Chains A and B, each alone.
Chain A
Amino acid sequence: MRHRLGWAFVIPTLLFLIIFNVFPLISSVVLGFTNSELTGGSWEWVGGRNFSRVFNDPKYAAAVRTTVLFTVVAVAVELALGFILALALHRDFRGKTAILTLLLIPMMLPPAVMGIYWNFLFDGDYGVINQVLHAGGLLAPPQWRTDPGLKLLAVVAVDVWMWSPFMLLISLAGLGSIPKHLYEAAEIDRASRWMVFRRITLPLCAPLLGLAALLRATDALKQFDLVMAITGPNDASTQTLSTLLYQVIFSNQRVGLGAAYACVVLVLVIALAIGVTRALARMRSANAGQAV
């Protein structure tokens, strides 16, 4: 009876997962072996042709490079900036709540809207950033939206502005969870501030920071909204995997080929997630060893 009761609890969730996760996943893999198009109509099995095209497509390789570069740079800067801000805010002072609230605002705004908003700020002619730079004496301010060396940097800058507060929040939670007696013991031992940071603060926050980095990295790997709003889906300097997928499936209407691209992306993301999860587990067990 208990066994059946257990199933009764599990079945709705299982059904939900099968209908909305497993079924689309299987369907997507199957589509990857067809020449199916967005507008429907007849389709044929094409074997591994789509997958072979994915691996031989220079656009795909370029999109992987851009996505990885974007993810590594954006997440690293966000992590560093968020942690530094958290260290600065991890004490009581007047106006702390107000500052924290202000810092959290970008994270709460829709990325697509923010992309359009920053697009205006980055405009080479009438954008506020260049107007300020020009007023400050820079006669030839950088062209954020058209200089190939700056386009990706512009997208990274907006992402950092939006998501550093997320790292700040997680870092604050990590800092708050460190037992005070460890700092007291360090003080008694006359440990330097750098030693305290290196031996207590950083190692004890690391698992939480690692988790935050994993969450942000999986999100950054899907970067779509900001690229669409700032440079468009078809710009060689900023085309990420998501915008390439959009281009293939919606603009070119090649659903079969797009599904093959998506399957390969999925494998990459799963591999990354497994790698980071294992690293986190190792970090946690190392911390536990130190505590013992």
Chain B
Amino acid sequence: MRGCVPVRERFHARLADQWEYHMSRFVLSLAIIFSTVLTPAFAVEPTPAKATATEPLTIWWAQWAPADGLQQIADVYAKETGTKITVHQIPWGSFQDQVFLNFGNATTSFDIVVGDSQWLGRGATRGLYVDLTSWLPGAIDLAGIKPQALSNLCEYPSGSKHYFAAPCETDAVGLAYRADWFTDPAEQAAFLARFHRPLAVPKTWTEFAQVAEFFHRPAQNRYGNAQLTGRGYDAMAMGFQQVLWSYGGSWGDAATYAVHGHLDTPEAVKALEFFRTLTTFGPKGATNLDYGQVLDVFTNGSTAMSCTYFAFFPTIAKQLGPKVGFAVMPANGERHAISLGGQGFSVSAKIPVPRQEAAKKFIAWFNTPAVQRQWITKEAGFTANTAILASAEFRAASPYNAAFADSLDHVRDFWNVPVYNELLASAVKHLGEALDGADAQASLRAIADEHEAIFEDAGLKK
């Protein structure tokens, strides 16, 4: 037994040596794997791909009908020029996050982004969008573009003639109403008896509230109206701001960025209280309806009037047919303001120059009158081309086109400064509190306080 001990010790020592050898190999292998896997992840500048004019281009846009139309138009471009274009569609809920996360990379995965109008300031001031100021006027007939669309969708700062986007989808909030209910003789008689005027499509907010109240019959599962009140992104702000402007309030002074004295005025408080009243004539949960839900409560046949973007109207028209009519949003006396929608083409500054040039070529082609005439034939393809908008052919082409063309004269937009999202989040949060029952004046004052602090922090306040 004693003679066995040195043998066992030798065996253990050899085993330990072998372990050490294998472990050192293992650690070395791990180091190689880590360096191979992690080096590209931490690389500062990926090698840009060589670009040629016919290299495929990628456009990022939200997932909705106009993006399908854009893909069809892009296929025509591919046939004409040989440059293939893919329109990559991202669900609305994550569109903004995905785009700006991608902008965090050295090179973006897209060449063109069809971005929201509010993104302009961020894209322009953070070096994310290519400055199109010297190119756009020569490539597109700017005189032929609706000035309100050009200013809100392409220019930053507004009125500066500095362009960071070109027109793609122009949109505005419109009114969809149940034409069959409005023309029902029994309803007309009842309305006349109650309000001493004929039942008609409302032209003022006061008339709108009366019609909404008249049709609001929850016991029959029939509701008066649906407003944009969602808390996710910008629905609440888009829904409320047109009432705010129509009542004489505003988000603030665009020159000085002062908010107090604009957003917390008695007129603005009245607007918010009126907006809250409108939600009481809505379906259950009317104080939190996002774009999809506003569409749902109208297309399910329960709601008399729905205020949402024209881009949703082809879906409504398809589902409800002749039962539905479309109109321009109401005014308040002389004041008539409508929320702008739509997005412009912006070229990524984080792609090689030849790709930027290829992207610009497509954008210029898309904005030619001939292509714009094709664009308006696509589902929810809305143009900013003034000649097309004014043509009898366009106005008669669908039940909503005339209302769309007339709406563009009154469009206004939310802030498009780099800190737009902080402003939006603050506004949506406090407006939501007001719709949930908080004091309207306190909510507006809270927004004004926060907005001024945000402007101050961003160095914009004068």
Contact = CB atoms under 8 A, between A and B. Distances in A.
B104 A124 contact: no
B273 interface: no
B50 interface: no
B288 A40 contact: no
B454 to A, nearest CB: 9
A253 interface: yes
B27 A12 contact: yes
Contacts of A37: 126
A233 B425 CA distance: 9
A97 interface: no
A232 B232 contact: yes
A237 interface: yes
Nearest to B123: A39
A99 interface: no
A148 interface: yes
A138 interface: no
B442 interface: no
B436 interface: yes
Contacts of A5: 16, 19-20, 23
A: contact size bracket: 35 or more
A2 interface: yes
Most chain-B Cβ atoms within 10 A of its Cβ — which of A11, A146, A148? A146
A9 B26 CA distance: 10
A231 B287 CA distance: 12
Nearest to B286: A146
A19 to B, nearest CB: 7
Nearest to B437: A148
Nearest to B19: A5
Interface string A248-288: 00111110000000000000000000000000000000000
A38 B30 contact: no
A22 to B, nearest CB: 15
A8 B392 CA distance: 81
B101 interface: yes
B231 A235 contact: yes
Contacts of A201: none
Interface residues of B, number: 46
Contacts of A235: 231, 429, 432
B460 to A, nearest CB: 15
A195 interface: no
A101 interface: no
B422 A252 contact: yes
Contacts of B364: none
Contacts of B100: 38-39, 250, 253
B285 A145 contact: yes
Given A146-B436, A232-B232, A252-B419, A38 B101 contact: yes
A15 B20 CA distance: 18
Contacts of A146: 285-288, 436
A28 interface: no
Given A5-B19, A145-B288, A234 B26 contact: no
Contacts of B389: none
B439 to A, nearest CB: 13
Contacts of B26: 8, 12
Contacts of B284: 124-125, 130, 143
Contacts of B315: none
A237 B419 CA distance: 24
B9 interface: no
Given A15-B34, A146-B287, A234 B19 contact: no
B163 interface: no
A172 to B, nearest CB: 39
A19 B33 CA distance: 13
Interface in B320-350: none
A123 interface: yes
A236 interface: yes
A2 B251 CA distance: 71
B362 to A, nearest CB: 24
A253 B421 contact: yes
Contacts of A53: 457
A12 B30 contact: yes
A39 B104 contact: yes
A251 B437 contact: no
A2 B437 CA distance: 71
A148 B436 contact: yes
Contacts of A39: 100, 103-104, 122, 126, 128
A251 B231 contact: no
B433 interface: yes
Interface of A: 1-2, 4-5, 8-9, 11-12, 15, 19, 37-41, 53, 59, 123-125, 130, 143, 145-148, 231-237, 239, 247, 250-254
27 contacts: A2-B16, A5-B23, A8-B23, A12-B26, A12-B27, A15-B31, A39-B100, A39-B103, A39-B126, A40-B103, A40-B104, A40-B105, A40-B106, A124-B283, A130-B284, A143-B284, A147-B436, A148-B433, A148-B437, A232-B232, A234-B231, A235-B429, A236-B430, A250-B100, A253-B100, A253-B122, A254-B422
Given A53-B457, A236-B436, 10 more contacts: A1-B20, A4-B20, A8-B19, A8-B20, A12-B27, A39-B100, A40-B104, A40-B106, A231-B288, A232-B232
